[in-house]
Amino acid sequence: MNKEKFFQLIEKYHSPAGRYNYYPRISQWKNNSTVEQWYSEVSDYSGDLDLYIHIPFCEKFCHFCGCNVKIAQKDDAKNLYIEKLIHEWTTYKKDPRDIKNIFIGGGTPNSLTLSQFKKLFDGLGLKNESKITLSIEADPREINREKFLFLKSYGLSSVSLGLQDVDKDVLNIIGRPTDLETVKDSINFLSTLDLENLSLDMLYGLPKQGELSLTKFKGLLEEIEITAISLYPFANVPWFQDFYPLWEESKPSVQRKYEHYFELSSLLENNGFKTISFGHFFKSDSKFYKAFVENKLTRSIMGHSINKSPVLLGLGVSAISSGPKSLKQNEKIYENYLFQDIGAQSIHTKGQSEENLEDFFISLSSKTMFTTNLQIDDELISDGIITKENDNYRVTDLGRHFVQHIAKSIEKNIL
């Protein structure tokens, strides 16, 4: 990747943009439907479905994290929450044999005990001989082998580890002290489970990030087997504003933030990773990269997927569901979710133009050319982000680093 060209584009396109893993985003929802209509839509659907299960529990706050979390809950509270998840699932009156993919996110999903995972899976009606594809986010500092062997027996195929950085000074200042030897041991163990995808989540733009972070990360890559890495920009979290003045002297400038991204990207590319879109990199011999090349890779609220179902049911506080026509978000306040029978914060029925935009945003995660009736800015072509051949468009290799800005530009032309 040409560094001079990259920074010319960063100067022009570095403003914040969405993730576009569902559309429209919540701030654009019109709340133009009802709980009854949502359940009717799901009831009318017959076929494969996916589950997203939100586990909000964490031992303590990390100062970079904007997720909906609940800190240091005792087992009784976690068991009560699991019972609510099971109750929510039963309200859909769906056959568990229709479940195709399950993604468990958080929070820290692996904070559940083995018995709590058993309670949850039994309540959902899952069988360990089923052909479900199970994915989970996990804290790499707390990988219990018995627990993950149990998850493997239920179809575990993908684990996403929230590492964030490898420099102890960086990790300490963001409230996430980490022993890297423990992380290496965890990754080496997970590598023995024959997973389709084992990935790391990393942040750029953190205080104190610099050359040492890059050097240590390079060393880590030489010692572990990973199939994917995701790079996410740090963004201020409103409820941690009191911490940020303490970071002022060590927080990177915008220029330095994107230098770190460029250096990380170059390091990954030199180690056999290919950029897909939205900061996601896959090993060139991985199943997901092959699906990208073959135009079989798609995206959803659960991230990249090869076999996405038309309906995604989100279980848990703040969880988002996606149906053929509508989007639904659960109650965002933990206590309200827990004690309401059916808690929906808002529901949005998509219009045709929104469905077209969502389909287009998903198509940005495929390598092949695409056609569209949507307005493509000429600047995206002249800047080398997109190429055009007749009526067909393709995102360039350089443009893969700016996919969210392609989406933002096209959305702006529609709204």
pLDDT digits (tens, 9 = 90+) for 65-105: 888 889 988 999 999 999 999 999 999 999 999 999 999 99
Confidence of residue 1 (pLDDT cuts 50, 70, 90): confident
Query: With 70 as the cut, is the pLDDT of residue 415 above it?
Result: no
The total of structural domains in the chain comes to: 1
CA gap 211, 266 in Å, rounded: 14
CA gap 389, 371 in Å, rounded: 10
pLDDT per residue as tens digits for the range 125-158: 999 877 899 999 999 999 999 999 999 999 999 9
- Specify the CATH number for the domain of residue 79: 3.80.30.20
Parent domain of 153: 19-330
Decide if 375 contacts 413 (C-beta within 8 A). yes
Which residue, chain included where needed, has tokens 């393709």?
A: 394
In a domain, 77, yes or no: yes
In a domain, 258, yes or no: yes
Which residue, chain included where needed, has tokens 């076929």?
A: 47
3-state SS record for 221-246: HHHCCCCEEEEEECCCCHHHCCCHHH
In a domain, 408, yes or no: no
In a domain, 402, yes or no: no
In a domain, 8, yes or no: no
In a domain, 257, yes or no: yes
Residues 174-206: b if buried by 16+ CB within 10 A, e if exposed: bebebebeebeebbeebeeeebebbbbbbbbbb
Which residue, chain included where needed, has tokens 């479905």?
A: 49
Which amino acid belongs to residue 100? K
Which pTM does this prediction carry? 0.95
Q: What is the mean pLDDT of residues 260-283?
A: 96
The DSSP result for 298-345, as a single string, is EEETTEEESS--SEEEEESTT-EEE-SSEEEEE-SSHHHHHHSSS-EE
In a domain, 136, yes or no: yes
Decide if 231 contacts 202 (C-beta within 8 A). yes
Q: How many residues does the chain have?
A: 415
In a domain, 54, yes or no: yes
Q: Which pLDDT score is estimated for 228? A: 98
